């Protein structure tokens, strides 16, 4: 029996190391080719796991996706509308005189508001269904739109202050509803929509990097980050990986 103890010990140590692998770090996820098998894609669509990516301390991290309710960024003095519920996504952007807040309820609509830091004043800016705010060149933008029942539309809007009040205007119309946005090394917008991946240069030139992505099979992308010119997008069942230099696509899964 004694001669089997070292082997058993090695197996135990290996098993423990595997169990302790930190799956919140994307570097510990498994790399796979992009699947075109319809059964596999359907399995992805039925998955109960939805993943969200974000950058922290120069590393890409992964968490289970949940509705974007950024209330923790707001002072307790700010009271949001009573109809605010768990199905409403809240996006928050701090500005010099308070906060821009986007309310999004999918097919039930949404709107963009300004709130003072002390919560005493607020007003509605527009009916934009804000998905995500982003800042570029000291200017404020947001993606807005909706994909529902075969309809998919949206735009990038520019949010600016004029005459003492915040306003919103269309910056560029998008071919499909946007899901997430970031800025690449050239300061261009990279937007993942319900079906495609777009690059929008500062001249407003739109380049379609991917026409009908893997996620168009009902994988609902929710976030996107770029590191070392490689894009990662969190979605249902896994993480989409795209090399912006080589255009290589891969699929990442936790196991």
Domain residue extents for the chain:
24-65+178-255, 68-174
Query: Strand pairing partners for 140?
Result: 135, 159
Q: Using CA atoms, how far apart are residues 206 and 216, in angstroms rounded to an integer?
A: 19
pLDDT for residue 182: 98
Is it the case that residue 170 has pLDDT exceeding 60?
yes
Instruction: Give the distance from CA 119 to its chain's centroid.
Output: 28
Kindly state the average pLDDT of the residues 156-172: 97
Q: Residue 82: which pLDDT band, with cuts at 50, 70 and 90?
A: low
**The token pair that represents 101 in the structure block:** 């807040």
Residue 40: CB atoms within 10 Å: 14
pTM score of the predicted model: 0.88
User: In DSSP terms, which residues pair with 174 in a beta bridge?
Assistant: 154
Strand residue runs (E) in 27-138: 30-32, 51-56, 59-64, 89-95, 98-104, 110-115, 122-126, 130-136
| Residue range 45-70: mean pLDDT, rounded | 89
């Amino acid at each position: 029996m004694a001669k089997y103890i070292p082997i058993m010990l090695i197996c135990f140590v290996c098993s423990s190391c595997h169990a302790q692998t930190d799956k919140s770090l994307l570097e510990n996820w498994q790399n796979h080719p992009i699947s075109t098998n319809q059964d596999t894609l359907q399995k992805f669509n039925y998955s109960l796991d939805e993943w969200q990516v974000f950058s922290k301390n120069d590393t890409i991290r992964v968490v289970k996706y949940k509705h974007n309710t950024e209330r923790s960024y707001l002072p307790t003095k700010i009271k949001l509308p009573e109809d605010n519920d768990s199905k409403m996504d809240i996006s928050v952007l701090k500005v010099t005189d308070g906060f821009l807040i986007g309310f999004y309820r999918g097919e039930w609509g949404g709107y963009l508001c300004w709130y003072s830091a002390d919560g005493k004043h607020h007003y509605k800016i527009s009916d934009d269904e804000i998905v995500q705010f982003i800042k570029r060149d000291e200017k404020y933008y947001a993606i807005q739109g909706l994909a529902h029942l075969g309809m998919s539309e949206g735009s990038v809007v520019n949010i600016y202050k004029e005459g003492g009040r915040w306003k919103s205007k269309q910056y560029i119309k998008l071919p499909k509803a946007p899901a997430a946005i970031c800025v690449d090394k050239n300061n261009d917008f990279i937007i993942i929509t319900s079906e495609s991946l777009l690059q929008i240069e500062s001249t407003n030139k739109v380049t379609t990097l991917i026409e009908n992505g893997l996620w168009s099979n009902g994988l609902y992308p929710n976030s996107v980050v770029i590191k070392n010119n490689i894009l990662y997008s969190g979605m249902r069942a896994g993480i989409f990986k795209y090399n912006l230099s080589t255009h290589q696509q891969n699929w990442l899964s936790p196991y």
